[in-house]
Amino acid sequence: MNILAFDTSTEKFSISILKNNKVVLNLTKILNKTYSKFLIPILKKSLEKSKLDIKEINYILISLGPGSFTGVRIGIAAAKGLGIPHKINISGFNNMDILVNSIDNNIKEKRIVTIIKSKKSDYYFQVFDSKKKPIKKISFFSINNLPKFFFNKNTVFTGDLDIELIKEIKKKKKKKILFYKRKFSSTCTLINLIKEKHYINMTKSLNPIYVYSHYAKNN
């Protein structure tokens, strides 16, 4: 099985390629310029480096977000442009699902909060139960206005946990807190989960995950 997976939802672009069930490429690159100019050349070079022709790819997996709406749309357009002419299966994935499934299944905490950085001091987040089932929709918070339930007992955090955010959470939550920092890119984690035969929720309806920049006061 040959898989091409890539993520354009943030400025930190990532791509991973699985060839004959072996990971042959993992690349993460900061793209300060627009994806529209550089994405297709990077994808083609990555395939060449992996000694694969696009016709040999069985699945193209593309991030649907959350993140930059423009970046996600460009990624989806590229996936369709590469996949449709060659009748390649195209599926989208949610980065929050990738984050929560990268955590050890034996954790004892009742809540898992996945976090993805948006801009400066703003973040996307989602809450899951201990069985990794979502209990809140993806939402948005600012470091200066953390959701109250972040400070409940038995909560573990994972994802883009920068120093400023960790300090702010620790400042307000006095008890022991568990943080699982993101170790690998979304595509690298996804490919490894697939290799290990973990169930990952995929969708063929390639609709970007759009999150409004506000959340309910009761959160």
Which pair of structure tokens corresponds to residue 180? Answer: 């699982």
Bridge partner residues of 16 (DSSP): 5, 26
Tell whether pTM > 0.85: yes
Instruction: List every span in the chain annotated with CATH 3.30.420.40.
Output: 3-94+184-203
Distance, in Å, from the CA atom of 115 to the CA atom of 206, rounded to the nearest integer, reads 22
**Domain 3-94+184-203 -> CATH class:** alpha beta
pLDDT at 39: 93
Secondary structure (DSSP) of 9-49: SSSEEEEEEEETTEEEEEEEEE--S-HHHHHHHHHHHHHHH
Query: Rounded distance, CA 83 to CA 184, Å?
Result: 26
Q: The CATH number of 96-181 is which of 2.60.120, 3.30.70, 3.30.420, 3.40.50?
A: 3.30.420
pLDDT in tens, the chain (219 residues): 999 999 999 888 999 999 999 999 999 988 766 788 889 999 999 999 999 999 999 999 999 999 988 999 999 999 999 999 999 999 999 999 999 998 887 777 789 999 999 877 899 999 999 889 999 999 999 998 999 888 877 889 999 988 889 888 888 765 667 888 777 889 999 999 998 877 788 999 999 998 865 433 333
Amino acid in the structure at residue 161: L
